[in-house]
Structure 1
């Protein structure tokens, strides 16, 4: 009987503990005063077969609400071990790009640069890998939404460590279609398109896979991304460009730690965040922390499209807008109302006036561009 009571008390104790953890969550603002937050961040990789793009920025503290400051006017090179070096030029500020390069994959390469303050930085020399082609990018649709998958292989069994990211693009419209515009004090039929636009974003997750424990260097239907069935991205047409990178074992380990630090910190049982150690170093001040990992590899890409008519007819998509009912403006007040560039006419009501609403609900350019991407079909 005593043992039973002890067990019951233990269960109650754990229940109360878990309840307190889930119901009493207070915001936490760590004390960072006096801590150096001006670390150099090196973002990019050495492209073995194409243009290398490197971005140099500085970190900010947690309270900052401005873009990170860029490291401008640096002298940046890609260097072959005991061989050639290739200069990168700056445009825009803080972003450095090379010519179209075809690097010797039998040689190791590194990034080497000097800042405007005469501080010298370099990455470790790394083997340059050629990324195999993407075999296919596929998708399925079920009650949970659209699920994207990627497949690849390497007959030579030299890749083994894969990483992917992706660029999303989708077509959308404004909440209301404007048929009129107020120009030069006069109302006229609209001549420019502000109804149909395109926008996009980078995939927000780190996707990694290794085949080291398999008999073949094959990745089959690796889960890449999920889109809910009501996603505004799927309302008209959606496109995803998948990019594949062959990684060294060291870089793969770096990205795996990055993934754990950014995506697996939501529960009591997830690993604690750790200090990421990249392969960048400061020659001028060896104990300075530099953030980033610069690897060397080529890029393989594949794009697919998903149209609305390929999806279940019963799906209802969010518009992305929360707009009220348009206002009615009488003819005699049209000039006064529509001289405001943030209030746009929509339709004409015969013998009454015009309907109008704020540009956020009428002009799709507020959320994207009305120029179709060159790859759109």
Structure 2
């Protein structure tokens, strides 16, 4: 999922990088598409296998990720240390050994693609400011009048060295299938008129968990403040109607301290996203990062190589903790009770094939149809359609 997250940002950059600074109405022609490389990496001060993501732009009328595979990837520091990376999945490269960025060292990224193209980064160094970050979820009405939970972060650097911050998050939430039943409805014979039997489910399908990563650029700075303090900065707003907070929810927030140049780069990208899209008649032009082609100095290279200190924090809450006495959001579930067969045609069986619909209860009131069983769509009766039954290692009830 993290690979997907980075490519969401990368695909947005495609729109910006290909269009130049024209002000004429944009007419897209896929035959004239120019393939550009996208390189993104944040080396942190955590001792871990660091990550580099390399993909390529794709035409805007084609929806797929184009990873750059079989590249040689290295990070070097100014003391002569070299960290080699290996490809663990298409376009995603991990350092072979764990390491963390060190204060005072300077780092560069070097890439050689499988067809011999070479790319390098500017010399970058770690920005100090490894201070704790706190998370405060509160009930709030946003500027659009929507009630929801606002995830606020607070941080303070008494050395006054941080100034520029970027945030990412991983949200995990519990899913409970609202119309789950411990029994499955299966045919007990052959033919349209054959009876059906209720049998115990073979797998857990009631309670699941799902994790989603942030896919937007979230930044703030304290340049114009009297002190280097981030106060109640919103990193995530979730409307009360969103079912991901219906039960138990957790968010892991990562706070990165950026350099001024890195902050300015992503600020420009974010501004471009907010002001329009690739089909807008006013284009913002190519946004240059700190990655360059050694093979062709005229080649545009999309992306940024960054070295950053990072701190993380996690918070859990239940719906009632934020919204005491208020109604929980509910899934919209369709209930139907089709007859087993009608005018010689199988009616119920097609609904049950491949678990397109799930058994809920016997039909006693005929409220949902004339058939003997009430059934519903799978995400209302089977949580595995939206998550995994594996309980996350960090989960706390």
TM-score above 0.5: yes
1:362 aligned residue: 381
Give 1:286-365 correspondences, 5 Å limit. Answer: 286-327=297-338, 329=340, 338=352, 340-348=354-362, 354-365=373-384
Q: Does 1:155 align with 2:169?
A: no
Distance 1:63 1:175, change over 3 A: farther
- CA distance in structure 1 between the partners assigned to 2:260 and 2:140 by the alignment: 36
Q: Equivalences for 1:257-272 in 2 at 5 Å? A: 257-265=268-276
| CA separation of 1:47 and 1:176: change in aligned 2, threshold 3 A | same
- 1:335 and 1:131, CA in 2 relative to 1: closer, same or farther beyond 3 A? same
Name 2:16's counterpart in structure 1: none
Is 2:209–2:391's contact at 8 Å kept on the other side of the alignment?
A: yes
**Aligned-partner Cα distance in 1 for 2:104–2:388:** 43
Q: Deviations over 1:192-217 (max 9, x none)?
A: 22122222322343222222223322
Question: In structure 1, which of residues 143, 146, 166 is the aligned counterpart of residue 149 of structure 2?
Answer: 146
The 2-side partners of 1:53 and 1:246 are apart by 17
Aligned to 1:53: 51
Q: What is the deviation of 1:166? A: 1.2
Displacement after TM superposition at 1:298 (Å): 2.7
Q: 1: CA distance between counterparts of 2:332 and 2:392?
A: 23
- Measure the CA separation in 2 of the matches of 1:189 and 1:362: 14
CA distance in structure 2 between the aligned counterparts of 1:152 and 1:70, rounded to whole angstroms:
36
For residues 14-48 of structure 1, give each alpha carbon's deviation from its aligned partner in whole angstroms, at most 9, with x where no partner exists. Answer: xxxxxxxxxxxxxx973234433311111221223
1:189-204 to 2 correspondence within 5 Å?
A: 189-204=200-215
Q: Are the counterparts in 2 of residues 139 and 146 from structure 1 also a CA contact under 8 Å?
A: yes
Offset of residue 254 of structure 1: 0.4
Q: Which residue of 2 aligns with 1:135?
A: 133
CA contact 2:185–2:199 (8 Å) conserved in 1: yes
- 30-39 or 336-345, which moves further after superposition? 336-345
Higher RCO, Cα 8 Å, sep 6+: 2
How far does residue 277 in structure 1 lie from its aligned partner after superposition? 0.8
Which blocks of at least 5 consecutive residues in structure 1 are unaligned?
A: 1-27
Deviation at residue 105 of structure 1 after TM alignment: 2.0
SS of equivalent to 2:99: strand
Task: Kindly indicate whether the alpha-carbon contact (under 8 Å) linking 1:230 and 1:316 is maintained by their aligned counterparts in 2.
Answer: no
Moved more, 201-210 or 119-128: 201-210
Change (3 A) 1:241 1:161: same
Whether the 8 Å contact between 1:194 and 1:370 is mirrored in structure 2 is yes
**In the aligned structure 2, how far is the partner of 1:306 from the partner of 1:371?**
19
Q: Does 1:275 align with 2:286?
A: yes
Q: How many residues align?
A: 343
Q: In the alignment, what sits opposite 1:41? A: 38
Counterpart position of 1:31: 28
Q: Which segments of 5 or more consecutive residues in structure 2 lack a partner in the other structure?
A: 1-24, 142-146, 189-196, 365-370
| Equivalence map 1:6-17=2 (5 Å) | none
In the alignment, structure 1 residue 219 sits paired with structure 2 residue 219: no
Deviation at 1:259, TM superposition (A): 1.3
Conserved 8 A contact 1:230-1:315: no
What residue is the counterpart of 2:4 in the other structure? none
Aligned to 1:84: 81
Query: What's the CA shift string for 1:111-148, capped at 9, x where partnerless?
Result: 11111111111111101234423331112214522112
Q: So what's the TM-score if we normalise by structure 1?
A: 0.82
Bigger drift between 333-342 and 144-153 goes to 333-342
Contact 2:359 2:373 in 1 (8 A): yes
Aligned equivalents of 1:336 and 1:206: distance in 2?
A: 45
How many angstroms apart in 2 are the aligned matches of 1:265 and 1:284?
33
Structure 2 contact 138–322 (Cα < 8 Å) conserved: no
Which residue matches 2:194?
A: none
Please say if 1:74 is aligned against 2:71: yes
Q: Give the equivalent residue in structure 2 for 1:8.
A: none
Q: Calculate the TM-score normalised by the size of structure 2.
A: 0.78
Could you say which residue in structure 2 is the equivalent of 1:20?
A: none
Structure 1 residues 145 and 84, CA gap change in structure 2 (3 angstroms): same
Other structure's SS at 2:320 match: helix
